[in-house]
Chain A
């Protein structure tokens, strides 16, 4: 939400920028025929499946839909925790 101060300080985005940003999101969901809620569920399930096999920090996971021409891409950036910790514990 923009405040009065944002407006007078020129921090509010111009309306064309707002239209473009809103359109970007709307087009992503229109093109893959998936609403924002379903996409959230997909992310949660992905994290759950992956963490069954490798040690990950769910808070560091970034999963997003991006546009590449007229194609949509689901990009997942999932940092994996080093396995050293578990091994070193065994050695103790």
Chain B
């Protein structure tokens, strides 16, 4: 079985689960795949606004589970990419409105009609998280290079492994290369040594992410953004391509310019 159902989770809130889900889904759809992303954060939905689809919601995940609409009716088609869909979370219900077996049933129905299903997990380790990982073929854990986010990621990895829901892969989000360089931020190597799992992406801190969220246009659609490039690379790795990790040295700093000058001179 190829891995097509991917759950994006983190334990800690605010590390970038929803941004990552929106961007990886958009990048996969941009490459031509049929992609459905599901907001599993019932009561605190946000994937709709990050994708810019908040005005199109009629039915939600709980409506499907409780039989008020068919699955197709709850799938909102993206404005830009006709092969990208969102199933939004219910906003006025709580996590117990859906069970892990409901999620497995619903996602099994989706498996036959799309290439990828991306599930945006809520923060925490309770019911919402269990719902989100129940149907997963692959769990992507997002963390930041920061003590509390790494600790929570470790806890989540332990829980996913205990439920035998693996494999688990890591995205290190919001890295500041200049802080790593002066040894005031955990480096990718530090985080990988501590968590001891496979890496699937490193995303640099990028102000453009806030602008793109303000506009409801995922950053992967901005060809100049470093964060956008990092998310596109994650999508390519999921598609099975061997993409080298971004060189996050500051390209416009003195050493960045110097090394480019030397390289172009040497070629």
Contact = CB atoms under 8 A, between A and B. Distances in A.
Q: Do A and B bind each other?
A: yes
Contacts of A20: 186, 190, 194
Nearest to A69: B196
Interface string B188-211: 001000111100000000000000
Contacts, number: 46
B194 A70 contact: no
B183 A23 contact: no
B68 interface: no
A16 B151 contact: no
A16 B186 contact: yes
B185 interface: yes
Nearest to A15: B184
Interface in B153-168: 154-155, 157-158, 161
B246 interface: no
Contact of A70 (B180, B183, B185, B197): B197
A40 to B, nearest CB: 22
Contacts of B161: 70
Contacts of B196: 67, 69-70
Interface in B134-192: 146-147, 150-151, 154-155, 157-158, 161, 180, 182-187, 190
A23 B182 CA distance: 19
A24 B154 CA distance: 11
Contacts of A70: 157-158, 161, 195-197
Interface string A32-45: 00000000000000
B194 A23 contact: yes
B155 A30 contact: yes
Interface of B: 146-147, 150-151, 154-155, 157-158, 161, 180, 182-187, 190, 194-197
